């Protein structure tokens, strides 16, 4: 294990880590891309310009993966746009919605149980 106190050259990065929930690539555009999700560059820059470190959160992360990520960050940016969170035909929730709901629940847990501020910002 690395010991910062023993190494005088060690620099600790105290900048906040802010998660950005990725968005799925629309079906109509999947043939043009080699990936299934994305973050708009302006959203990543928004976090960087604030002095924080952006951390991508896959919209389709498993609950276990998401829990691990959430314990390592200080808040989340929800971005959005033309995404149907609930299917108009089946009423099923989109995976983005399920992941966002788990993140929201985590924020409430941190506030209500741990008495800690764990912010969420949602934009569209």
Residue 50 within a domain:
yes
| pLDDT of res. 1 | 47
- Are the C-beta atoms of 52 and 13 separated by less than 8 Å? no
Residue 86 within a domain:
yes
73-94 per-position pLDDT tens digit? 999 999 877 788 998 999 999 9
Residue 74 within a domain:
yes
| Residue percentage of the chain with pLDDT more than 90 | 72
Q: How is residue 116 written in tokens?
A: 């800690």
| Number of domains into which the chain is organized | 1
- Does 38 have pLDDT greater than 70? yes
Q: Which domain holds residue 118?
A: 19-122
| pLDDT of res. 13 | 87
Residue 1 within a domain:
no
Instruction: Tell me the whole-structure pTM to 2 decimals.
Output: 0.86
Residue 13 within a domain:
no
Gap between the Cα atoms of 34 and 24, Å rounded: 12
């Amino acid at each position: 294990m690395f010991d910062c106190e023993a190494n005088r050259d060690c620099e600790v990065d105290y900048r906040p880590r802010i998660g950005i929930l990725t968005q799925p690539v629309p079906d109509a555009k999947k043939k043009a891309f080699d990936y299934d999700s994305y973050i708009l560059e302006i959203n990543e820059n928004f976090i960087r310009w604030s002095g924080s470190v952006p951390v991508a959160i896959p919209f389709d992360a498993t609950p276990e993966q998401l829990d691990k990520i959430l314990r390592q960050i200080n808040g989340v940016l929800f971005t959005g746009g033309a995404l149907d969170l609930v299917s108009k035909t089946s009423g099923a929730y989109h995976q983005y919605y399920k992941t966002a709901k788990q993140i929201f629940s985590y924020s409430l847990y941190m506030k209500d149980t741990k008495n800690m501020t764990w912010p969420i910002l949602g934009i569209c």
